[in-house]
């Protein structure tokens, strides 16, 4: 089992936009509960099936498998609607990779940056465009944004 250790932050301003090209992602949830998530995601010509366990602090179990894009499209049709749609920007910064998501649809206006760490105590440099940390705020979990979109807060 892989362990995902992730910190999540709001993003301020747009100086990040010139640092990377965004890729459109469409994702849905076959299961979305506090105990587990089963997600299907299409990004370009690749697709993944991901299973995540409940959070324990900022860590949780994660299993991720490539699947055919055609299968992913069929699975997305089985997911709760509407899907989460966003542009993802991958931005290297001082030896780490930030994943910055610009949400669309009912979550338009929300921009969140995530960083995956090797340990919960790992130190990392923070880019100037990083805002408030929201790691512990469950509203910012993608599965929760489906049920309670940002525009309705």
Tell me which residue of 78, 137, 25 sits closest to 150, measured CA to CA: 137
23-59 per-residue burial string, b: 16 or more CB within 10 A, e: under 16: eebbbbbeebeeeebbbbbbbeeebebbbbbebeeee
Rounded CA separation 139/150 (Å): 8
User: 29 an active-site residue?
Assistant: yes
Q: Say what the alpha-carbon torsion angle 39, 5, 118, 1 is, to the nearest 10 degrees.
A: -50
Give me the residues paired with residue 4 across strands.
60
Which one from 29, 87, 89, 140 is the annotated catalytic residue?
A: 29
Instruction: Give the residue numbers marked as catalytic.
Output: 29
């Amino acid at each position: 089992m892989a362990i995902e250790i992730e910190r999540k932050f709001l993003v301020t301003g747009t100086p990040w936009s010139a640092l990377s090209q965004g890729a459109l992602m469409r994702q849905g949830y076959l299961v979305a509960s506090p105990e587990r998530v089963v997600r299907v995601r299409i990004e370009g010509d690749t697709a993944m099936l991901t299973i995540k366990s409940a959070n324990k602090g900022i860590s949780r179990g994660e299993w991720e498998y490539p699947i055919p894009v055609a299968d992913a499209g069929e699975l997305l049709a089985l997911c709760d609607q509407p899907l989460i749609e966003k542009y993802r920007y991958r931005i290297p910064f001082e030896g780490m990779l930030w994943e910055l998501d610009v949400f669309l649809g009912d979550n338009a206006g929300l921009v969140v940056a995530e960083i995956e760490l090797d340990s919960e105590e790992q130190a990392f440099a923070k880019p100037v465009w990083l805002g408030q940390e929201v790691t512990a705020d469950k509203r910012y979990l993608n599965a929760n944004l489906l049920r309670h979109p940002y525009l309705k807060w």
